[in-house]
Structure 1
């Protein structure tokens, strides 16, 4: 696990560099897209590079991490609509190239199995963008989630619903109780994981992720077992890291050719 501590704008550029490097080397790459606040600056930077530098997504595919259950197809906070607004419609993804779990499916179990199969049929995810919740969840894998879990329906914790209420006018009762989410094992199957976290509210979760014991109580800690994880954090999110000085030293001394 590589931990990079830098100002938030630089973190977005670093993450976008990794996506651009992948797409220019392999235009048919498969991306994993996250929602929430953490990746928005990354998407803005990728859109800028698409518009100004010709970075193309035309032959790429993408899979979303999760989706609320029961939100109307035209609801602005339905994650498929959020991804369409923030990235998919702003670059040149081909029609149908971006897929997400079906939160309106009648057969939820079947929809989850179909989604797992679609990811596998695409050859798996090459680079997965992630955020982290204040309680250590990744995607919607709440504390107590199986570290071997696959795409499934989950019940959101009160904490997660309160954290997300800002997207629903501050009304926690408007935040759905259930979601479909890629499981931890699904996420771990991606070849490169890039996790972004900013702000002091994420500091304890980042500390547990990078330096705590692997535990279902902090689901993101399973990432310690992945061979290629990049954790991008600002000073506030890094404030609980015991090895912060070491992370800064190692990144400063990193060979320029190495990349993430």
Structure 2
């Protein structure tokens, strides 16, 4: 796990985007990009920086495939608060990823059984696309990744989940009151997320400091789903100073981020 700490939100966005592009080069070399996409405020700056890379000729997402982390159950994918519509607006129209190449979990069907079957098929669709090269992530205030709430199995697959009360409260600002926030969702599982080639997580603000500390330096536990990132061989966390405030090993992370350029090798 690499922990990169920046001074400003703009620096966080730039560093995170650079790590996404590097991850695509390392894990998807010679193939059309396959991106795992997160919604929320945390990755918005990252998406703007990817758009800048497209404008500057450093990236091209016209042949990319996108897989959403999650989707609400019970609202159509054309609803303004559906995660599909959010990603169309905030990602497809920003970085040039064709909307027809964006895949989202099925949150509307004639029965729960149909939604569960579609969830199982979602993992198969990711595999058929060659796997996700880079998965972009935010993290919830209770440590959730996607909608994997505390208590989620660390090897879980895409499935139906009940939203925690805290998550619904956090998301109520996007709806006309908490009574309109869906109670269930379909989310990629933690096991599904861990199969991506690289994970790039963005977190900013003092409200994420305790969660980030638990994710990075706490025990591996279902009580903090984000701690599963400790198992991934290529996870990159990009934080601002406020989100990094609870880290006890800050000096080490800064030294590690400096790379190998200053390392002196001695032949014994």
For 1:11-30, what per-residue CA distance to the aligned partner results, in whole angstroms no more than 9, with x for missing partners? Answer: 11112112334556545121
Q: How is 1:62-77 mapped onto 2 (pairs within 5 angstroms)?
A: 62-77=66-81
Q: Which runs of 5+ in 2 are unaligned?
A: 263-268
Q: TM-score, normalised by structure 2?
A: 0.90
- The answer to whether the Cα contact below 8 Å between 1:22 and 1:29 also exists between their aligned partners in 2 is no
Partners in 1 of 2:259 and 2:127 — Cα distance?
37
Partners in 2 of 1:132 and 1:138 — Cα distance?
5
Aligned to 1:197: 203
Aligned to 1:119: 126
CA RMSD in angstroms, aligned pairs only: 1.7
Aligned to 2:265: none
1:4/1:95 Cα in 2 relative to 1: closer, same or farther (>3 Å)? closer
Aligned to 2:191: 185
Give, in angstroms, the shift of residue 253 of structure 1.
4.2
Among residues 241, 249, 252, which one is paired with 2:255 in the alignment?
Answer: 249
Partners in 1 of 2:224 and 2:207 — Cα distance?
15
Q: Which runs of 5+ in 1 are unaligned?
A: none
Residue 23 of structure 2 is aligned to residue 2 of structure 1 = no
Among residues 115, 135, 139, which one is paired with 2:146 in the alignment?
Answer: 139
Give, in angstroms, the shift of residue 247 of structure 1.
1.0
SS class of match (2:100): coil
1:51/1:27 Cα in 2 relative to 1: closer, same or farther (>3 Å)? farther
Partners in 2 of 1:23 and 1:217 — Cα distance?
31
Partners in 2 of 1:79 and 1:72 — Cα distance?
10
Q: TM-score, normalised by structure 1?
A: 0.93
Give, in angstroms, the shift of residue 53 of structure 1.
3.2
Give, in angstroms, the shift of residue 194 of structure 1.
0.5
Among residues 30, 35, 38, which one is paired with 1:34 in the alignment?
Answer: 38
Give, in angstroms, the shift of residue 51 of structure 1.
2.9
Larger radius of gyration: 2
For 1:81-101, what per-residue CA distance to the aligned partner results, in whole angstroms no more than 9, with x for missing partners? Answer: 000000112333245211110
1:127/1:23 Cα in 2 relative to 1: closer, same or farther (>3 Å)? closer
Among residues 86, 95, 120, which one is paired with 1:91 in the alignment?
Answer: 95
Give, in angstroms, the shift of residue 3 of structure 1.
0.6
